[in-house]
Amino acid sequence: SSNMAKSKFEYVRNFETDDTCLRNCYIVVRLDGRNFHRFSEQHNFTKPNDNRALGLMSRSARSVMEDMEDVVIAYGQSDEFSFVFKRNSTLFRRRASKLMTHVTSQFSSSYVFYWREFFGEQPLLYPPSFDGRVVLYPTNHNLRDYLSWRQADCHFNNLYNTVFWTLVQTGGLSTAQAEDRLKGTVAADKNEILFSEFNINYNNESALHKKGTTLIWTKQNETVTKCIKVSNEEEEKEVSVIRSRRRVQAHYCDIIGEQFWDEHPDILED
């Protein structure tokens, strides 16, 4: 600090570069699990979608939001999660490295901390890690396109993985054969394979798997009992008070179209 004698080493601080995020932009931090292809195999994830793993991802993302309340919406699928900070956030003076590292380390430590709640006795074999990146989006339109891009990616991968693993698990194909079979197919072909060969209507698959997880804040009224000291009386009185609390709520719905944004108009600012 300024009133302390400065050492001759102090000048090295000037090598630090400024990474303040441009004002008025949404700050998006996206993290992604490192080598989760291998991690998911070693921890016996159910293919194509392990719900324990998805639940743990969501739980860890909630930890991040509760730790950093300026996050207005988070979207996750597979081994990734995106966190959107409100555009006028001043958290960590908008320093990109601070925001990114706090998000990814809070997420990673939560993933380990809550592992048992989702995987029970199945041991965590090694410490997982997540990479992080920061991207700025200047307009609501750009931000919505970003989230749409991630959800479209979820849909595309999930359709592929659903057919792939059905061909393997039910159709008896090897993974190499299934890969061959799907080479060059478009979405309609994949839907058709599922429907005509396995009697599966992709539309009826779980929304969590098709749409991913969207986390937003919701206001909830809760009744709490408080003890209030009434003057001129000896004893405390119990009264019920209604408090409004912000809670993280999960949605498994389309966020590409207008409906979600019409129903939650306060996520985006003008």
Give residues in contact with Mg ion (CB under 5 A). 32-33, 36, 78-80
Instruction: Examine residue 49 and tell whether it contacts ligand ATP (CB under 6 A).
Output: yes
The count of residues interacting with ligand ATP (CB under 6 A) is 15
Nearest-angstrom CA–CA distance, 212 and 154: 7
Q: How far apart are CA 160 and CA 177, in angstroms?
A: 14
| 59 versus 144: smaller Cβ distance to ligand ATP | 59
Interacting stretch for ligand ATP, rule CB under 6 A, among 26-34, 177-185, 192-200, 246-254? 26-34
Q: Residue 35 annotated as binding?
A: yes
For residue 216, the cross-strand partners are: 73, 249
The span from the CA of 22 to the CA of 137, in Å, is 10
In the set 47, 86, 144, 181, which binds ligand ATP (CB under 6 A)?
47
Task: Show contacts with ligand ATP in window 89-128 (CB under 6 A).
Answer: none
The dihedral formed by the CA atoms of 244, 245, 247 and 252, expressed in degrees to the nearest 10? 0
Nearest to 84, CA basis, from 151, 18, 25: 25
> Considering the rule CB under 6 A, would residue 245 count as an interface residue with ligand ATP?
no
- Judge contact between 138 and 25, C-beta under 8 A: yes
Looking at 170-242, list the stretches that DSSP marks H as alpha helix, in order from N- to C-terminal side.
175-182, 187-198, 207-211
HSE-up (13 A, CA, CB side) for residue 13: 7
| 34 touches ligand ATP (CB under 6 A) | yes
CB of 142 vs ligand ATP, minimal distance in Å: 23
- Smallest gap from Cβ 135 to ligand ATP, in A, equals 17
For the annotated binding site for GTP, the residues are: 32-37, 78-79
For the annotated binding site, the residues are: 32-37, 78-79
For the annotated binding site for Mg(2+), the residues are: 32-33, 79
Sites of contact with ligand ATP (CB under 6 A): 32-37, 40, 45, 47, 49-50, 53-54, 78-79
